[in-house]
Amino acid sequence: MKKAFAIILALCMVLSLAACGGGKTTPANNSAAPANNSANTTPANSGSNTPAADDKGPDWGKKDGSVYTNEYYNLKVTLPSDWQFQSDEQVASNMGTSADIFKTKTIKELAEGGTGSIYMMQATAANGTNIIVSTSYHSSFDSFKEADIMAVLKDSQAENLKNAESGFKTVEYKTVNFAGQDKQVVHIVRTASGIDLHQYMVINAKGTDYIGIVTITQVGAEEDASIWNMFSTLK
């Protein structure tokens, strides 16, 4: 139970911060900075210690123009023209840390040092939609089956529905085509400052230690189905 609870704490932190990010990037107040990756192939957050092999943990990923790739999770994200990557400073701020970590730390060092969910990429659209690609480390979790993790996540979020002040309205499973395959996601509807937030969480388990998490927050309405076309695999 403690292991499952640890995963839920990490996942819920991503969900909570995604909600904040979505609230900050509505059309009336888009706070996202211009993309900081023009025509480059550097690690997504300018990290210089990017590990590549599985035994070194996930890599930070790379941004090249409007494309983000992460070899560890076999994930490619292609941003439409009205999207932009958030700056290192913004991503770090959303994690409550300094942008220096992207240059001085590997993800494995951060994860094994006790950091919960680690943001590898964050992007926003002009309409307020927000995407976070993150990873979470749990070396002693008994099961890394995606279905098991999703079930624990859904059950934990359902508990929020019992609290009238939490803002949670509905929690359900939804099947989408994510990176070329049908996957179940947890779809959560909550209210913040009188505005509905539709949040989607996709789990990508890797090996026995790391969980990849893609969190999408849509402000005011359900996501445009085309949002899923942004995701593909590298091989």
Concatenated DSSP letters of the chain: -HHHHHHHHHHHHHHHHHHHHHHHTSGGG--PPPPS-TT--SBTT--S----SGGG-----EEETTEEEETTTTEEEE--TTEEEPPHHHHHHHHTS-TTHHHH--HHHHHHTT--EEEEEEEEETTS-EEEEEEEE-TT-S---HHHHHHHHHHHHHHHTT-TTS-EEEEEEEEEEETTEEEEEEEEEEEETTEEEEEEEEEEEETTTEEEEEEEEEESSPPPGGGGGGEE---
Measured CA to CA, the distance from residue 82 to residue 127 in angstroms comes to 9
Measured CA to CA, the distance from residue 221 to residue 210 in angstroms comes to 31
- The length of the chain is 235
Q: What is the pLDDT of residue 32?
A: 34
- Nearest 5°: phi and psi at 173? -85, 150
Q: What is the pLDDT of residue 206?
A: 72
The end-to-end CA distance of the chain, in Å, is 36
Q: What is the pLDDT of residue 143?
A: 56
Q: What is the pLDDT of residue 1?
A: 43
**Tens-level pLDDT at each residue, the chain (235 residues):** 444 444 444 555 455 545 454 434 333 333 333 333 333 344 566 543 443 444 677 889 999 999 999 999 999 999 999 999 999 999 999 888 889 999 898 988 888 777 778 999 999 998 888 999 999 887 655 556 777 777 777 777 766 666 656 677 888 888 889 998 898 888 888 888 888 888 898 988 776 678 889 999 988 776 677 889 999 999 7
Strands 75-78 and 168-178, sheet pairing = unpaired
Which amino acid belongs to residue 102?
F
DSSP assignments along 136-160, one per residue: EE-TT-S---HHHHHHHHHHHHHHH
Give the bridge partners for 169, in sequence order.
none
Q: What is the pLDDT of residue 172?
A: 84
Measured CA to CA, the distance from residue 13 to residue 19 in angstroms comes to 10
| Topology (CATH) of 2-232 | Protein Transport Mog1p; Chain A (3.40.1000)
Q: What is the pLDDT of residue 83?
A: 95
